[in-house]
Structure 1
Amino acid sequence: MTQSETPIAAPAEQSGEKKLSRIQQRNRTRIMEAALDVFSAHGFRGATLDQIAKAAGLSKPNLLYYFDGKEAIHVMLLNRLMETWLNPLQELDPNGDPLEEVMGYIHRKVQMSREFPRESRLFANEILQGAPRMKPHLESGLKPLVDEKTALLRQWMDEGKLAAVDPRHLLYSIWATTQHYADFEVQIDVLSPSDEDPFEGADAYLDTLFRKLLTP
């Protein structure tokens, strides 16, 4: 395994970090924010430490004081992203109203596309490159969660509480339709009327679409 293929570490595998001063914390935050901009725009392969340092307003040697290299920054961003990304799916409540639980999940995914477009593109770029750093986490974290929630969706469908569709492909469709608004943000902005909020339109449209699909 090459350095560029170092897998993302599960949270329990991450080593503890020494306490940073306020200035060090501020600089580290600047680096992470700058790296998120650069990686989401150029992907891992296209991004450089020089670009990240320039965006952060720091020298490259200063950046390397905080991180060992581009790989270390990218892996930390992915670790933070995965926790945020999985939360809405984890929150599907087996004791809630099935249709409202699914619709709430969809609305939260649209909200995340609005709030975290860079994170969505970071994730998409990693997947498009074959997930060399994230694949172990997809296998150990995401897949068991999806297996659990598709079983719950299937149970609701078998009980007649949701229309019967393939639950796994239902999740794929939700991801595709909600994350599109972040991953293709530039295209959405160009094509949408200037006086309309595309995310409000997406929220309303996807509510109608999936309610019609899933109402038994």
Structure 2
Amino acid sequence: MKPELYLDRRSPPVRSVLMLIQALGIEVEEKIIDLSKGEHFGESFLKINSCHTVPTFRDSKITLTDSHCILIYLCENYGKGNNLLWPSDPYQRIQVLSKLFYSGTLLFRRDSDAIGQIIINKLKKEQVEEHAVKFREQFDILENFLTENEFIACDTMTIADFSVVTIVSTMDMIVPVVVESWPKLHNWWFNHMKKLPFYEKVNQDGLNALKEWAKQSTDFKINM
């Protein structure tokens, strides 16, 4: 029996998990939860995940409701000995964990606060700009990370990169990642992450759907 993944592809954390699933060649049964229709508050889904969030992952052993935990679990249980995305070296692994915590506690919070309010509260241009300031601050932080390493956590690609790229590409809707301001971040995104064979299908398609949703909710010009 295939593991189940409850998802809405417009969600950045969902897209990060889907990228890893493609990278590791894992077969899952996709269960669509349409956030725009409030299906994450449905009684049947709340019985599975009382936090009413996607992604939610289930197999015969466990139910996980946080994308970062899911990324680690998939590497540990379905990685087939692939130690590059989830390094076995303790020092490298703690660096990956550190960046995953950053992604979940700070980077994604900045993104979800802005995009959520644009869609739900239909923010006007001047209100969106208040969030844009916080986005630029995060891009500065990521630029610093990429000064220390070729990738977000290490000198090789890890699951931290999958977690971060789906958020950065979403934030780019509001603040474009231009090479003049963030050359290392731009290079990492355009010359490494975007060249992954599954990037367009997994990340870009979901991102495009989110852009269309957001575009209908604000007078701010969404970067398409």
Relative to the length of structure 1, the TM-score reads 0.34
Query: Over alpha carbons, which structure has the higher Rg?
Result: 1
Give the structure with the higher percent strand. Answer: 2
Relative to the length of structure 2, the TM-score reads 0.33
